[in-house]
């Protein structure tokens, strides 16, 4: 009886997989591998059934063999990254997934798995960036929307969390976990908005005493410019300065911080970034942070001056 060919053994292995018999498929792929040990297709099939059998160490080994014999397979790098993540081999997982993205930047599952690794490594900002790339290249990836919403919820960015929970629910109506997350984000956002609404409608205290709440402004009192003119002028100037410092602070965030974060995230997220470019991105980010802190200090100092002059005016 003639020996079976590699092609025949692989065909039987695929049929065994369809019949939900991965152990039989593994034996057939092992026979095929004995005939052609350098075949990336055989290694790929064997890696897949090992993964199904939860033999993750063997799965990772054979996915590595696929990439060794055929370094152009983005799918093999994605699966290697996912498997290494489950094995807690996170540095190798990141390297494999970055390579997959380099080979095919339109594979949403590569970004998704990279986000999973970054989340486990305790790097939530990089995880957010990777999830955002996942939903950019594949807007119908419901799990990515859901996980991104969870990260935004943890970061107290409730409006963004609400957007992505809703997108997850559009893709998978009735998803209980997404429903629960959406409810939590909406409740948290409403709690943030309620104090502001209450402050807008709240009447100003009318007591003229110096109780526990500090100095109060008498509504019947008339400010005399001849007496309080210097204070009024100083308060007006400090208020204008605060407005200008606020605009400057927001401009720094928009024109320096946001671009610096995007550039640094891209350098860290994508593979093969030259070390010189990474160093340059880090320097830009650090310079932007310094400018933001300087603008913040100026704003805080100006606000304190407004508060101090206001208190002096009330007490005069």
Helices 40-52 & 22-35, crossing angle to 10 degrees?
A: 160
- Residues 6+ positions from 48 with CB-CB distance below 8 Å: 17, 59, 79
Contact 43, 19 (CB under 8 A): no
Helix-strand-coil split of the chain, %, nearest 5: 80, 0, 20
**Three-state SS sequence of 84-115:** HHHCCCHHHHHHHHHHHHHHCCCCHHHHHHHH
The residue among 106, 174, 188, 114 whose CA lies nearest residue 148 is 114
Length of the chain equals 316
Amino acid 208: pLDDT? 43
| 316 residues of the chain, pLDDT tens digit each | 456 899 999 999 999 999 999 999 999 999 999 999 999 999 999 999 999 999 999 999 999 999 999 999 999 999 999 999 999 999 999 999 999 999 999 999 999 999 999 999 999 999 999 999 999 999 999 999 999 999 999 999 999 999 999 999 999 999 999 999 999 999 999 988 876 555 555 554 444 444 444 445 455 555 555 555 666 677 677 787 888 888 887 887 878 887 777 676 666 666 566 666 766 777 777 777 877 887 788 888 878 877 777 777 666 6
CB burial of residue 55 (10 Å; 0-12, 13-18, 19+): middle
Q: 210: how many CB neighbours lie within 10 A of its CB?
A: 11
Amino acid 241: pLDDT? 81
Nearest-Å Rg of the Cα atoms of the chain is: 30
Contact 136, 148 (CB under 8 A): no
Residue found by looking up tokens 């008498």 in the block? 218
Amino acid 210: pLDDT? 47
pTM, two decimal places: 0.63
- Residue 122, SS3 per DSSP: coil
Contact 93, 119 (CB under 8 A): no
Residue found by looking up tokens 């502001």 in the block? 196
Amino acid 3: pLDDT? 67
Q: What CA–CA distance (Å, rounded) separates 78 from 54?
A: 17
For 219, which DSSP code?
T
Q: What CA–CA distance (Å, rounded) separates 61 from 106?
A: 26
Amino acid 246: pLDDT? 85
Longest distance between any two alpha carbons in the chain, whole Å: 116
Tokens found for residue 165: 């929970």
Contact 72, 49 (CB under 8 A): no
Distances (CA, A) of 174 to 151, 180, 186, 188: 21, 10, 17, 21
Amino acid 216: pLDDT? 52
| CA 161, chain centre distance (Å) | 11
Answer left, alpha or beta for residue 272, where phi above 0 means left and psi between -120 and 50 means alpha. left
């Amino acid at each position: 009886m003639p020996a079976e060919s590699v092609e025949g053994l692989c065909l039987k292995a695929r049929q065994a997989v369809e019949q939900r018999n991965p152990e039989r498929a593994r034996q057939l792929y092992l026979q095929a591998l004995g005939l052609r040990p350098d075949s990336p297709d055989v290694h790929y099939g064997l890696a897949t059934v090992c993964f199904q059998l939860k033999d993750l160490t063997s799965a990772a080994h054979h996915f590595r063999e696929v990439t060794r014999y055929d370094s152009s397979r983005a799918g093999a790098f994605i699966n290697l990254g996912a498997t290494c993540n489950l094995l807690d081999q996170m540095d190798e997982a990141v390297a494999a997934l970055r390579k997959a993205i380099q080979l095919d930047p339109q594979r949403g599952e590569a970004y998704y798995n990279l986000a999973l690794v970054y989340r486990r490594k305790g790097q939530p900002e990089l995880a957010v960036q990777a999830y955002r790339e996942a939903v950019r290249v594949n807007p119908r990836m419901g799990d990515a929307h859901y996980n991104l919403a969870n990260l935004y919820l943890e970061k107290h960015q409730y409006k963004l969390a609400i957007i992505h929970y809703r997108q997850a629910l559009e893709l998978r109506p009735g998803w209980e976990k997404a429903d629960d997350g959406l409810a939590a984000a909406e409740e948290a956002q409403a709690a943030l908005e309620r104090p502001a609404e209450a402050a807008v409608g709240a009447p100003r205290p009318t007591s003229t005493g110096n109780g526990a709440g500090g100095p109060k402004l008498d509504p019947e009192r008339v400010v005399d410019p001849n007496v309080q003119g210097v204070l009024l002028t100083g308060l007006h100037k400090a208020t204008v300065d605060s407005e200008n410092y606020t605009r400057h602070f927001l401009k720094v965030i928009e024109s320096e911080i946001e671009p610096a974060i995007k550039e640094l995230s891209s350098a860290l997220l994508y593979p093969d970034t030259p070390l010189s470019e990474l160093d340059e991105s880090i320097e830009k980010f650090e310079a932007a942070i310094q400018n933001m802190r300087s603008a913040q200090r100026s704003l805080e100092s100006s606000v304190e001056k407004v508060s101090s002059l206001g208190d002096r005016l009330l007490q005069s």
